[in-house]
Structure 1
């Protein structure tokens, strides 16, 4: 049975998510439709890139992923279908896949060219659904598109290293449900540039010299629970995606606060790591 996932900025109030699912079910008798997220900030490609990178490889090979974020078809926003790491991706060529493709090379990429056969203003409902169902039936990418060699990236999605090698300049690319601020600086880049040197991470008013592997590493469990006083304290970790994340312990934006609210670390906020110059 085919699996089709949906990642969009549609939200849940409007009828669009339901309409897309209905259109898929009209085309396919047997299909599993999985919602990855419909709460991407409107038109925010970096958020979409992070979420799809974090989620896609939890699915079986052959899964088809529709990404409906900033997907209006224009001369500058072409539609593509890609076979990458055993998975199919259908999206606009707007940088949605740049995090995945920074580490992996696509097996096939085509620019979708079936628009003249479809009359619609709702790209994800029609062109993306038709393409996904074609693939689910065993159709090839070459039938619905012409081969291409590269995809667009987006400014700011990748951190910059200074010429001296003493600084990494990154930014917040995602705010999770707990208000934690995820950056675009990976563990691999941190280790490659840092080479074991001491460092200071600066993000607005926050400054940190330790990066933990788990949120609970900030807790001294030898201290009685009533004396710990760590809820809401700031910390930095390498999260499960291998990216540096600025967080607060047991954060809750509605009670103790969160990194995004307490420290002002919203989307695109700058994050700088300064390594000791030896």
Structure 2
């Protein structure tokens, strides 16, 4: 998020009354009635960086709005502006909250202040998400096992055009966490922005240097950054040191690992690197 001098000096609109979130006396015609449950946790994910005052500002708004649920930081050190990688991490980190009433506030928003919509989603399994309609929710949508309902949030008058995390998304997350039904936050929206992933590629590299690809079926051979990986193992204990190998990771995606070392460093793979399955 780019910020000029004094861009955050103005006091942001506050929830609930001050944020002027739309109120409806009854559900929209034809829309599902979504019953709010007491939220047990609120998570935050962004590319703002650890120790960022932007993260603190969002938390301050949540607390001031009366949110009682614990606030859990998932990651604030995501690759800046990389929506695709952030979308994968967001899904991977929040998928196990299914069945637990929770709100997940996510901000990786290089188009902040532009024409992209602001969204709140209900996955129907206890998880609700708030964030920009720029593909950040791609993997959440891709792995949803029931209909997902989304509404378009209204940008309050006076919201900082460079900081919707504080002035748009955090108020909506606070409203959901406080029991406000989804359909009270805005009009139900249609098709959401989806990411195109035609070529298999590297989705993410974890701190160990394991390479997570977009492939779901384990091939017999995989070309990664010009290197061919031919070893296939069930887990790291089965692999010899120094030899990259393929395995099906715990997230259900094909990964490339290297025992006691970084496969990404050895192979020169980075986020977005194209991979090719052989066999």
| Range into which the TM-score falls when normalised by the shorter chain | 0.7 to 0.9
Corresponding residue to 1:97 among 137, 153, 162: 137
Secondary structure of the residue aligned to 1:119 is coil
Secondary structure of the residue aligned to 1:40 is coil
Find the aligned partners of 2:273 and 2:244 in 1 and give their Cα distance: 16
For 1:176-255, list aligned pairs within 5 A: 176-187=206-217, 190=218, 199-219=220-240, 230=241, 232-251=242-261
Measure how far apart 1:92 and its partner are.
Answer: 0.5
Q: What is the number of residues matched between the two proteins?
A: 237
Structure having the higher strand fraction is 1
**TM-score, normalization by structure 1:** 0.79
Q: Structure 2: where are the runs of 5+ without partners? A: 1-38
Corresponding residue to 2:277 among 260, 273, 276: 273
Structure 2 vs 1, CA of residues 65 and 151 (structure 1 numbering), >3 Å: closer, same or farther? same
Q: CA RMSD in A?
A: 2.0
Find the aligned partners of 1:211 and 1:146 in 2 and give their Cα distance: 49
Find the aligned partners of 2:67 and 2:223 in 1 and give their Cα distance: 53
Measure how far apart 1:155 and its partner are.
Answer: 2.8
Find the aligned partners of 1:33 and 1:148 in 2 and give their Cα distance: 28
Structure having the higher helix fraction is 1
Q: Structure 1: where are the runs of 5+ without partners? A: 161-168, 220-229, 252-257
**TM-score, normalization by structure 2:** 0.78
Structure 1 runs of 4+ off > 4 angstroms? none
Find the aligned partners of 2:149 and 2:225 in 1 and give their Cα distance: 42
1:5 corresponding residue in structure 2: 43
Measure how far apart 1:29 and its partner are.
Answer: 5.1
Measure how far apart 1:266 and its partner are.
Answer: 0.7
1:166 corresponding residue in structure 2: none
Corresponding residue to 2:107 among 68, 81, 89: 68
1:225 corresponding residue in structure 2: none
